[in-house]
Amino acid sequence: MKILVSLLTTIFILSGCGATQNPPLYYYGAYPSSVYQFLKADELSTAEQIEQMKLVIATTQENGQAVAPGVHAHLAMLYFENGNPLDGEVHFTKEKTLFPESANFIDFLLSQHKG
């Protein structure tokens, strides 16, 4: 009888583990592939990468999800790379607003791009 109760308890516990799957905290979309393309720099132009990142941000807003950390910072870097520092600063500021723990690093990146 103890074996049967133990077996049923184990089955009950294990069946409950798979049923509670939390949705992801952040939406990444094409962010990882965009970073890869930026570092590889031979398949997509900077303008195409900017469009990819803008699409990631738009999709998160449409789905009511949170933008993943680094998305706005990466978009800012792309804008600086593309010769548009004003939009770059806007997205660096947005990154700092969404993720205040990144403020020191973002300030460092801003100082590098302004200097």
Selection from 115, 97, 17 nearest residue 106 by Cα: 97
Would you list the DSSP string of 66-114? EEPTTHHHHHHHHHHHTT-HHHHHHHHHHHHHH-GGGHHHHHHHHHHHH
- pLDDT, residue 101, reads 94
From first to last of its 115 residues, the chain has per-residue pLDDT tens of 556 556 556 666 665 555 556 777 777 777 777 777 777 766 788 898 899 899 999 998 888 888 989 999 999 999 999 999 999 999 999 999 999 999 999 999 888 877 6
The domains of the chain, with CATH numbers, are: 24-114 (1.25.40)
- pLDDT, residue 107, reads 93
The pTM of this model reads 0.71
- Whole-Å CA distances, 4 to 9, 12, 13, 44, 88: 8, 12, 14, 60, 64
